[in-house]
Protein backbone atom coordinates (compact mmCIF):
# COMPACT_ATOMS: atom_id res chain seq x y z
CA UNK A 1 0.00 0.00 0.00
CA UNK A 2 1.43 3.39 -1.06
CA UNK A 3 -0.14 6.36 0.77
CA UNK A 4 0.25 10.00 -0.22
CA UNK A 5 -0.31 12.83 2.29
CA UNK A 6 -0.84 16.52 1.62
CA UNK A 7 -1.92 19.53 3.67
CA UNK A 8 -3.89 22.39 2.13
CA UNK A 9 -5.19 25.80 3.19
CA UNK A 10 -3.94 27.57 6.29
CA UNK A 11 -1.52 25.96 8.72
CA UNK A 12 -2.77 24.80 12.11
CA UNK A 13 -1.26 23.32 15.28
CA UNK A 14 -1.87 19.58 15.34
CA UNK A 15 -1.23 18.88 11.65
CA UNK A 16 2.27 17.57 12.33
CA UNK A 17 0.93 15.31 15.07
CA UNK A 18 -1.48 13.88 12.53
CA UNK A 19 1.26 13.39 9.91
CA UNK A 20 3.57 11.68 12.42
CA UNK A 21 0.91 9.21 13.52
CA UNK A 22 -0.10 8.35 9.94
CA UNK A 23 3.53 7.60 9.11
CA UNK A 24 4.35 5.59 12.23
CA UNK A 25 1.19 3.47 12.19
CA UNK A 26 1.50 2.92 8.45
CA UNK A 27 5.09 1.71 8.94
CA UNK A 28 3.86 -0.84 11.50
CA UNK A 29 1.42 -2.17 8.89
CA UNK A 30 4.04 -2.26 6.16
CA UNK A 31 2.58 0.68 4.21
CA UNK A 32 4.78 3.16 2.34
CA UNK A 33 4.09 6.88 2.84
CA UNK A 34 4.98 9.79 0.56
CA UNK A 35 4.49 13.45 1.38
CA UNK A 36 3.32 15.95 -1.25
CA UNK A 37 4.67 19.43 -0.59
CA UNK A 38 2.52 22.58 -0.70
CA UNK A 39 -0.89 20.98 -0.86
CA UNK A 40 -2.60 20.46 -4.19
CA UNK A 41 0.10 22.58 -5.80
CA UNK A 42 2.55 19.73 -5.26
CA UNK A 43 0.52 17.44 -7.52
CA UNK A 44 -0.20 20.22 -9.98
CA UNK A 45 3.40 21.46 -10.32
CA UNK A 46 4.98 18.00 -10.51
CA UNK A 47 6.71 17.55 -13.87
CA UNK A 48 7.47 13.88 -14.53
CA UNK A 49 9.94 14.84 -17.27
CA UNK A 50 12.06 16.95 -14.89
CA UNK A 51 14.13 14.97 -12.33
CA UNK A 52 14.44 18.02 -10.07
CA UNK A 53 10.65 18.29 -9.85
CA UNK A 54 10.41 15.16 -7.69
CA UNK A 55 12.90 16.58 -5.19
CA UNK A 56 11.00 19.90 -5.13
CA UNK A 57 7.49 18.55 -4.65
CA UNK A 58 7.75 15.03 -3.24
CA UNK A 59 9.31 13.74 -0.02
CA UNK A 60 9.54 10.24 1.39
CA UNK A 61 8.29 9.96 4.96
CA UNK A 62 9.48 7.43 7.53
CA UNK A 63 9.62 7.13 11.30
CA UNK A 64 12.93 9.00 11.54
CA UNK A 65 11.74 11.88 9.34
CA UNK A 66 8.70 12.53 11.54
CA UNK A 67 10.16 11.55 14.93
CA UNK A 68 9.92 15.00 16.55
CA UNK A 69 7.47 16.95 14.40
CA UNK A 70 4.51 16.56 16.78
CA UNK A 71 6.30 18.95 19.15
CA UNK A 72 5.93 21.83 16.70
CA UNK A 73 3.07 23.69 15.02
CA UNK A 74 2.55 24.31 11.33
CA UNK A 75 2.99 21.58 8.73
CA UNK A 76 6.15 19.72 7.78
CA UNK A 77 4.81 19.45 4.23
CA UNK A 78 4.11 23.17 3.80
CA UNK A 79 0.81 24.28 2.33
CA UNK A 80 -0.93 26.36 -0.33
CA UNK A 81 -4.43 27.45 -1.32
CA UNK A 82 -4.15 26.29 -4.93
CA UNK A 83 -7.30 24.62 -6.34
CA UNK A 84 -6.35 22.63 -9.48
CA UNK A 85 -9.97 22.53 -10.60
CA UNK A 86 -10.33 26.31 -10.65
CA UNK A 87 -7.07 27.98 -11.64
CA UNK A 88 -6.27 31.44 -12.86
CA UNK A 89 -3.83 31.36 -15.74
CA UNK A 90 -1.05 32.87 -13.61
CA UNK A 91 -1.44 29.96 -11.15
CA UNK A 92 -0.70 27.34 -13.80
CA UNK A 93 2.91 26.05 -13.66
CA UNK A 94 5.02 27.37 -16.57
CA UNK A 95 5.60 23.91 -18.09
CA UNK A 96 1.81 23.47 -18.42
CA UNK A 97 0.90 27.03 -19.33
CA UNK A 98 1.65 26.63 -23.02
CA UNK A 99 0.34 23.12 -23.42
CA UNK A 100 -2.47 23.48 -26.02
CA UNK A 101 -4.08 20.12 -25.32
CA UNK A 102 -4.29 20.79 -21.57
CA UNK A 103 -5.32 24.41 -21.93
CA UNK A 104 -7.94 23.57 -24.51
CA UNK A 105 -9.57 20.78 -22.56
CA UNK A 106 -9.14 22.50 -19.21
CA UNK A 107 -10.85 25.83 -19.96
CA UNK A 108 -13.89 26.41 -17.78
CA UNK A 109 -16.91 28.58 -18.47
CA UNK A 110 -15.75 30.92 -15.69
CA UNK A 111 -12.59 31.72 -17.63
CA UNK A 112 -10.47 29.75 -15.20
CA UNK A 113 -8.87 26.37 -15.87
CA UNK A 114 -9.42 22.84 -14.61
CA UNK A 115 -6.21 20.81 -14.71
CA UNK A 116 -7.56 17.82 -12.81
CA UNK A 117 -6.39 15.51 -15.62
CA UNK A 118 -2.79 16.51 -14.90
CA UNK A 119 -3.30 15.90 -11.16
CA UNK A 120 -4.71 12.45 -11.91
CA UNK A 121 -1.69 11.75 -14.11
CA UNK A 122 0.67 12.78 -11.28
CA UNK A 123 -1.09 10.46 -8.83
CA UNK A 124 -0.71 7.64 -11.35
CA UNK A 125 2.95 8.46 -12.06
CA UNK A 126 3.79 8.48 -8.34
CA UNK A 127 2.01 5.16 -7.90
CA UNK A 128 -0.20 6.39 -5.05
CA UNK A 129 -2.84 3.89 -3.99
CA UNK A 130 -4.63 6.26 -1.61
CA UNK A 131 -4.46 9.95 -0.74
CA UNK A 132 -4.89 11.35 2.78
CA UNK A 133 -5.86 15.01 2.55
CA UNK A 134 -5.59 17.28 5.61
CA UNK A 135 -7.45 20.56 5.15
CA UNK A 136 -10.59 22.66 5.37
CA UNK A 137 -13.62 23.12 3.13
CA UNK A 138 -11.78 24.04 -0.07
CA UNK A 139 -9.16 21.31 0.25
CA UNK A 140 -11.72 18.66 1.14
CA UNK A 141 -14.06 19.89 -1.60
CA UNK A 142 -11.41 19.15 -4.22
CA UNK A 143 -10.71 15.81 -2.54
CA UNK A 144 -14.36 14.90 -3.15
CA UNK A 145 -13.94 15.90 -6.79
CA UNK A 146 -11.00 13.50 -7.11
CA UNK A 147 -12.96 10.80 -5.29
CA UNK A 148 -15.66 11.05 -7.94
CA UNK A 149 -12.90 10.57 -10.53
CA UNK A 150 -11.92 7.28 -8.92
CA UNK A 151 -9.12 8.33 -6.58
CA UNK A 152 -9.14 6.60 -3.20
CA UNK A 153 -9.29 9.52 -0.77
CA UNK A 154 -9.59 9.99 2.99
CA UNK A 155 -9.93 13.51 4.39
CA UNK A 156 -8.90 14.90 7.78
CA UNK A 157 -10.68 18.15 8.80
CA UNK A 158 -8.35 20.98 9.80
CA UNK A 159 -9.30 24.62 10.35
CA UNK A 160 -9.10 27.24 13.09
CA UNK A 161 -12.69 28.26 12.30
CA UNK A 162 -13.99 24.74 13.04
CA UNK A 163 -16.42 25.21 10.16
CA UNK A 164 -16.18 21.92 8.25
CA UNK A 165 -19.64 20.38 8.06
CA UNK A 166 -20.03 16.86 9.41
CA UNK A 167 -17.64 17.06 12.35
CA UNK A 168 -17.89 18.73 15.75
CA UNK A 169 -14.14 19.31 15.81
CA UNK A 170 -11.38 20.22 13.37
CA UNK A 171 -7.64 20.01 14.07
CA UNK A 172 -6.43 23.47 15.15
CA UNK A 173 -9.63 24.65 16.79
CA UNK A 174 -8.62 23.89 20.38
CA UNK A 175 -5.33 25.76 20.10
CA UNK A 176 -7.05 28.72 18.44
CA UNK A 177 -9.50 29.01 21.33
CA UNK A 178 -6.78 28.49 23.94
CA UNK A 179 -4.61 31.21 22.39
CA UNK A 180 -7.59 33.57 22.06
CA UNK A 181 -8.60 33.23 25.70
CA UNK A 182 -5.01 33.81 26.82
CA UNK A 183 -4.55 36.94 24.71
CA UNK A 184 -7.97 38.36 25.62
CA UNK A 185 -7.05 38.12 29.31
CA UNK A 186 -3.63 39.64 28.66
CA UNK A 187 -5.23 42.58 26.86
CA UNK A 188 -7.34 43.30 29.92
CA UNK A 189 -4.30 44.77 31.70
CA UNK A 190 -3.80 47.48 29.10
CA UNK A 191 -7.54 48.04 28.65
CA UNK A 192 -8.02 48.53 32.37
CA UNK A 193 -4.94 50.70 32.80
CA UNK A 194 -6.13 53.14 30.13
CA UNK A 195 -9.89 52.69 30.75
CA UNK A 196 -10.52 51.76 27.14
CA UNK A 197 -12.99 49.87 25.04
CA UNK A 198 -11.02 47.03 23.43
CA UNK A 199 -12.05 45.12 20.32
CA UNK A 200 -10.33 41.78 19.74
CA UNK A 201 -10.67 40.47 16.18
CA UNK A 202 -10.62 36.68 15.76
CA UNK A 203 -10.74 34.21 12.89
CA UNK A 204 -14.14 33.29 11.47
CA UNK A 205 -15.08 34.29 7.92
CA UNK A 206 -18.38 32.46 7.58
CA UNK A 207 -19.11 31.14 11.06
CA UNK A 208 -18.52 32.58 14.51
CA UNK A 209 -17.80 29.40 16.46
CA UNK A 210 -14.19 30.31 17.33
CA UNK A 211 -15.24 33.79 18.44
CA UNK A 212 -18.27 32.53 20.34
CA UNK A 213 -16.48 29.81 22.32
CA UNK A 214 -13.47 32.04 23.03
CA UNK A 215 -15.77 34.82 24.24
CA UNK A 216 -17.75 32.40 26.39
CA UNK A 217 -14.59 31.08 28.08
CA UNK A 218 -12.92 34.49 28.44
CA UNK A 219 -16.05 36.17 29.78
CA UNK A 220 -16.02 39.16 27.42
CA UNK A 221 -18.81 41.74 27.46
CA UNK A 222 -20.02 41.35 23.85
CA UNK A 223 -19.27 39.05 20.91
CA UNK A 224 -20.07 39.72 17.24
CA UNK A 225 -20.37 36.80 14.81
CA UNK A 226 -21.08 36.48 11.06
CA UNK A 227 -24.44 34.80 11.63
CA UNK A 228 -25.94 37.90 13.29
CA UNK A 229 -25.52 41.38 11.71
CA UNK A 230 -25.12 44.00 14.44
CA UNK A 231 -26.43 47.51 14.89
CA UNK A 232 -23.53 49.86 15.82
CA UNK A 233 -25.70 52.34 17.77
CA UNK A 234 -27.09 49.57 19.95
CA UNK A 235 -23.63 48.08 20.39
CA UNK A 236 -22.17 51.45 21.38
CA UNK A 237 -24.82 51.87 24.09
CA UNK A 238 -24.06 48.41 25.47
CA UNK A 239 -20.33 49.06 25.58
CA UNK A 240 -20.80 52.33 27.46
CA UNK A 241 -22.93 50.44 29.99
CA UNK A 242 -20.35 47.64 30.23
CA UNK A 243 -17.54 50.10 30.84
CA UNK A 244 -19.48 51.99 33.53
CA UNK A 245 -20.36 48.74 35.32
CA UNK A 246 -16.76 47.54 35.41
CA UNK A 247 -14.82 48.72 38.52
CA UNK A 248 -11.72 49.01 36.29
CA UNK A 249 -13.68 51.11 33.76
CA UNK A 250 -13.06 49.14 30.58
CA UNK A 251 -15.07 46.95 28.20
CA UNK A 252 -14.05 43.97 26.04
CA UNK A 253 -15.60 43.09 22.69
CA UNK A 254 -14.68 40.20 20.41
CA UNK A 255 -15.53 40.19 16.71
CA UNK A 256 -15.24 37.54 13.99
CA UNK A 257 -13.43 38.64 10.84
CA UNK A 258 -16.62 37.87 8.86
CA UNK A 259 -18.99 39.88 11.09
CA UNK A 260 -20.98 42.71 9.47
CA UNK A 261 -23.18 45.65 10.35
CA UNK A 262 -26.89 45.73 9.56
CA UNK A 263 -28.11 47.42 6.38
CA UNK A 264 -25.96 50.28 5.16
CA UNK A 265 -24.54 51.28 8.53
CA UNK A 266 -20.97 50.73 7.37
CA UNK A 267 -21.40 53.20 4.54
CA UNK A 268 -23.18 55.64 6.86
CA UNK A 269 -20.45 55.69 9.49
CA UNK A 270 -17.26 54.77 7.63
CA UNK A 271 -18.06 55.85 4.09
CA UNK A 272 -17.20 52.42 2.70
CA UNK A 273 -18.59 48.96 2.25
CA UNK A 274 -17.32 45.82 3.92
CA UNK A 275 -18.73 42.44 2.86
CA UNK A 276 -16.45 40.15 4.84
CA UNK A 277 -14.46 39.00 1.80
CA UNK A 278 -11.39 40.99 2.74
CA UNK A 279 -11.58 43.41 -0.20
CA UNK A 280 -11.35 46.48 1.99
CA UNK A 281 -8.04 47.84 3.23
CA UNK A 282 -9.36 47.88 6.79
CA UNK A 283 -10.75 44.85 8.61
CA UNK A 284 -14.21 44.73 10.15
CA UNK A 285 -12.52 45.10 13.54
CA UNK A 286 -10.84 48.35 12.53
CA UNK A 287 -14.00 49.68 10.91
CA UNK A 288 -16.01 48.85 14.02
CA UNK A 289 -13.38 50.61 16.13
CA UNK A 290 -13.80 53.75 14.01
CA UNK A 291 -17.57 53.55 14.33
CA UNK A 292 -17.72 52.97 18.10
CA UNK A 293 -15.17 55.72 18.70
CA UNK A 294 -17.25 58.12 16.62
CA UNK A 295 -20.50 57.20 18.38
CA UNK A 296 -19.15 57.25 21.93
CA UNK A 297 -16.24 59.66 21.91
CA UNK A 298 -14.35 56.96 23.85
CA UNK A 299 -10.81 55.69 23.47
CA UNK A 300 -11.30 52.48 21.44
CA UNK A 301 -8.56 50.13 20.26
CA UNK A 302 -8.67 47.09 17.99
CA UNK A 303 -6.26 44.17 18.32
CA UNK A 304 -6.45 41.52 15.57
CA UNK A 305 -5.02 38.24 16.85
CA UNK A 306 -4.65 36.79 13.36
CA UNK A 307 -1.75 34.38 12.99
CA UNK A 308 -1.05 34.38 16.74
CA UNK A 309 -4.07 32.06 16.97
CA UNK A 310 -2.43 29.46 14.72
CA UNK A 311 1.23 29.84 15.67
CA UNK A 312 3.37 27.67 17.92
CA UNK A 313 2.89 24.26 19.46
CA UNK A 314 -0.54 22.57 19.59
CA UNK A 315 -2.41 22.29 22.86
CA UNK A 316 -3.19 18.88 24.38
CA UNK A 317 -6.59 18.69 22.69
CA UNK A 318 -5.21 19.23 19.20
CA UNK A 319 -2.49 16.66 19.87
CA UNK A 320 -5.08 14.12 20.97
CA UNK A 321 -7.45 14.72 18.05
CA UNK A 322 -4.56 14.90 15.57
CA UNK A 323 -3.24 11.54 16.78
CA UNK A 324 -6.67 9.90 16.81
CA UNK A 325 -7.83 11.25 13.43
CA UNK A 326 -4.61 9.81 11.97
CA UNK A 327 -5.16 6.45 13.67
CA UNK A 328 -8.70 6.34 12.29
CA UNK A 329 -7.54 7.28 8.77
CA UNK A 330 -5.11 4.34 8.67
CA UNK A 331 -7.78 2.02 10.10
CA UNK A 332 -10.08 3.06 7.26
CA UNK A 333 -7.36 2.33 4.70
CA UNK A 334 -6.84 -1.12 6.20
CA UNK A 335 -10.59 -1.68 5.95
CA UNK A 336 -10.65 -0.50 2.33
CA UNK A 337 -13.10 2.31 3.12
CA UNK A 338 -12.51 5.42 1.02
CA UNK A 339 -14.30 8.58 -0.06
CA UNK A 340 -14.84 9.61 3.56
CA UNK A 341 -13.72 12.21 6.10
CA UNK A 342 -12.72 11.25 9.64
CA UNK A 343 -14.83 13.14 12.17
CA UNK A 344 -15.93 13.66 15.75
CA UNK A 345 -19.67 13.64 16.38
CA UNK A 346 -20.99 14.06 19.93
CA UNK A 347 -17.62 12.99 21.30
CA UNK A 348 -17.39 9.81 19.20
CA UNK A 349 -14.86 9.19 16.40
CA UNK A 350 -16.52 8.27 13.13
CA UNK A 351 -16.31 8.69 9.34
CA UNK A 352 -18.56 10.77 7.10
CA UNK A 353 -19.02 10.41 3.29
CA UNK A 354 -17.32 13.26 1.43
CA UNK A 355 -20.51 14.10 -0.45
CA UNK A 356 -22.22 14.70 2.89
CA UNK A 357 -19.43 17.07 3.99
CA UNK A 358 -19.98 19.29 0.95
CA UNK A 359 -23.76 19.12 1.12
CA UNK A 360 -24.16 21.89 3.70
CA UNK A 361 -22.37 24.56 5.72
CA UNK A 362 -21.75 24.75 9.44
CA UNK A 363 -23.26 27.65 11.39
CA UNK A 364 -23.64 28.64 15.03
CA UNK A 365 -26.92 27.45 16.56
CA UNK A 366 -28.20 30.91 17.45
CA UNK A 367 -31.30 29.66 19.23
CA UNK A 368 -29.23 27.64 21.69
CA UNK A 369 -25.92 29.45 22.02
CA UNK A 370 -26.31 33.19 21.37
CA UNK A 371 -28.27 36.15 22.73
CA UNK A 372 -29.51 38.02 19.66
CA UNK A 373 -30.60 41.05 21.65
CA UNK A 374 -27.47 41.60 23.71
CA UNK A 375 -24.76 40.33 21.32
CA UNK A 376 -23.17 37.82 23.65
CA UNK A 377 -22.86 34.06 24.19
CA UNK A 378 -25.78 32.52 26.01
CA UNK A 379 -25.80 28.80 26.75
CA UNK A 380 -29.46 28.11 27.41
CA UNK A 381 -28.80 24.54 28.52
CA UNK A 382 -25.85 22.18 28.31
CA UNK A 383 -27.81 19.09 29.32
CA UNK A 384 -27.30 16.43 26.67
CA UNK A 385 -24.90 18.55 24.60
CA UNK A 386 -21.45 17.32 23.50
CA UNK A 387 -18.31 18.75 25.06
CA UNK A 388 -17.90 21.41 22.35
CA UNK A 389 -21.61 22.37 22.51
CA UNK A 390 -21.99 21.56 18.78
| pLDDT, position 274 | 56
Cα distance between residue 291 and residue 169, in whole Å? 34
What share of the chain in percent tops pLDDT 90? Answer: 83
Query: Quick one: average pLDDT of 84-94?
Result: 91
What are the tens digits of pLDDT across the range 180-197? 999 999 999 999 999 999
Distance between CA 195 and CA 172 in Å, rounded?
33
Quote the mean pLDDT of the chain.
92
Of 231-240, 328-337, 375-384, the least confident: 375-384
**pLDDT tens figures, 127-147:** 999 999 999 999 999 999 999
Query: pLDDT, tens digit, for every residue of 351-389?
Result: 999 999 988 889 999 999 999 999 999 998 988 887 777
pLDDT value at position 151?
98
Averaged pLDDT, 222-251: 97
300 or 283, which is more confident?
A: 300
Strand partners, 303: 200
Beta-sheet strand order (sheet of 2-7): 58-61, 32-36, 2-7, 130-135, 153-157, 340-345, 348-353
Domains, the chain? 2-172+311-357 (3.40.50.450), 175-309+366-377 (3.40.50.460)
pTM greater than the 0.85 cutoff = yes
Q: What is the pLDDT of residue 387?
A: 79
**SS3 state of residue 343:** strand
Q: Which helix (H) or strand (E) holds 157?
A: strand 153-157
- 109, pLDDT greater than 60: no
pLDDT at residue 338 in the model: 98
Mean pLDDT value across residues 167-181:
96
DSSP letter, residue 158 = B
Question: What is the pLDDT at residue 273?
Answer: 60
**Higher-confidence position of 108 and 53:** 53
Distance (Å) of CA 248 to CA 93, 185, 192, 194, 222 = 57, 14, 5, 9, 17
pLDDT band at 165; cut points 50, 70, 90 = very high
278 pLDDT band (50/70/90 cuts)? very low
CA distance 61 to 210: 33
Mean pLDDT of 242-253: 98
pLDDT at position 7 is 98
Helix (H, G, I), strand (E, B) or coil at 139: helix
Verify whether residue 161 is a known catalytic residue. Answer: yes
Taking residues 91-111, report their average pLDDT.
71
pLDDT tens figures, 218-227: 999 999 999 9
- In the three-class reduction of DSSP (H, G, I as helix; E, B as strand; rest coil), residue 87 is classed as strand
Of residues 76 and 274, more confidence is placed in: 76
Strand pairing partners for 223?
254
Which residue is catalytic, options 137, 161, 221, 315? Answer: 161
pLDDT higher than threshold 90 for residue 9: yes
DSSP 267-302: HHHHSS---SSS-SSS-HHHHHHHHHHHHH---EEE
Amino acid sequence: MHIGILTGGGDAPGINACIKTIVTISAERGYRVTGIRRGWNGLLAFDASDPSSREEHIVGLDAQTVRRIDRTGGTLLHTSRIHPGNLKKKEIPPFLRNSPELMGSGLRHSGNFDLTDHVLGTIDTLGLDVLIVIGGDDTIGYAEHLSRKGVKVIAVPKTMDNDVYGTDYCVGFGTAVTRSVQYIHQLRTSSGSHERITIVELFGRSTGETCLISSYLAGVDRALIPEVPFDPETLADYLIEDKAANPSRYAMLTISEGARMVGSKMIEYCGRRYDGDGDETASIGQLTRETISMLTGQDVICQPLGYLMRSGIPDALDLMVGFNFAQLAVELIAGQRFGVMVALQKGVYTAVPLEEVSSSTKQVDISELYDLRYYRPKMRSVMGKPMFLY
